[in-house]
Chain A
Amino acid sequence: MIDAPTITIIVLMATSTYATRVLGYMVLRNRNLGPRMLAVLENVPGCVLISVIAPAFVSDNPANLSGLAITLLAATRLPLLPTVIIGIISTGFFRHFLGQ
Chain B
Amino acid sequence: MDSSIDIHKKSSARVEAWRGMRATLPVMLGIIPFALVLGAQATQKGLSIVEVPLMTGMNFGGGSKFAAIKLWTSPPHILLIVAMSFLINSRHILMGAAFAPYLRHLSKRQALPALFFMCDESWAMALSDARQETSGTVSFPYYLGAAITLYLTWVVFTATGAILGPTLGNVEHYGFDMAFNAVFLVLLRGMWRGFRGCRPWLVSLVVAALTSLLIPGAWYVATGATSGLIAAVFWREAI
Contact = CB atoms under 8 A, between A and B. Distances in A.
A33 B102 CA distance: 13
A49 B120 contact: yes
Interface stretch (B1-9, B10-18, B46-54, B148-156): B46-54
Nearest to B79: A12
B89 A58 contact: no
Contacts of B99: 24-25
A92 B183 CA distance: 17
Nearest to A49: B184
B164 interface: no
B168 interface: no
A22 B96 contact: yes
Interface in A13-40: 13-14, 16-18, 20-29, 33, 35-36, 39-40
Contacts of B115: 18, 21-22, 25
A88 B179 contact: yes
A5 B78 contact: yes
Contacts of A85: 29
Nearest to B77: A9
A90 B124 CA distance: 25
Interface of B is mostly: helix
Interface string B218-233: 0011011100110011
Given A10-B59, A75-B185, A50 B205 contact: yes
Interface in A38-70: 39-58, 64, 67-68
Interface in B177-221: 177-189, 191, 198, 200-201, 203-205, 207-210, 212-213, 220-221
Interface of B: 25-27, 29-30, 47-51, 54-55, 58-61, 63-64, 68, 75-76, 78, 81-82, 85-86, 89-101, 103-104, 108, 111-112, 115-116, 118, 120, 124, 127-128, 173-189, 191, 198, 200-201, 203-205, 207-210, 212-213, 220-221, 223-225, 228-229, 232-233, 236
27 contacts: A1-B50, A1-B51, A6-B76, A13-B58, A13-B81, A13-B82, A16-B86, A18-B116, A22-B115, A24-B100, A25-B99, A44-B95, A44-B98, A45-B187, A46-B201, A46-B228, A47-B203, A47-B204, A50-B204, A50-B205, A51-B91, A51-B204, A53-B184, A58-B209, A75-B189, A88-B178, A89-B175
Interface of A: 1-2, 5-14, 16-18, 20-29, 33, 35-36, 39-58, 64, 67-68, 71-72, 74-76, 78-81, 83-95, 100
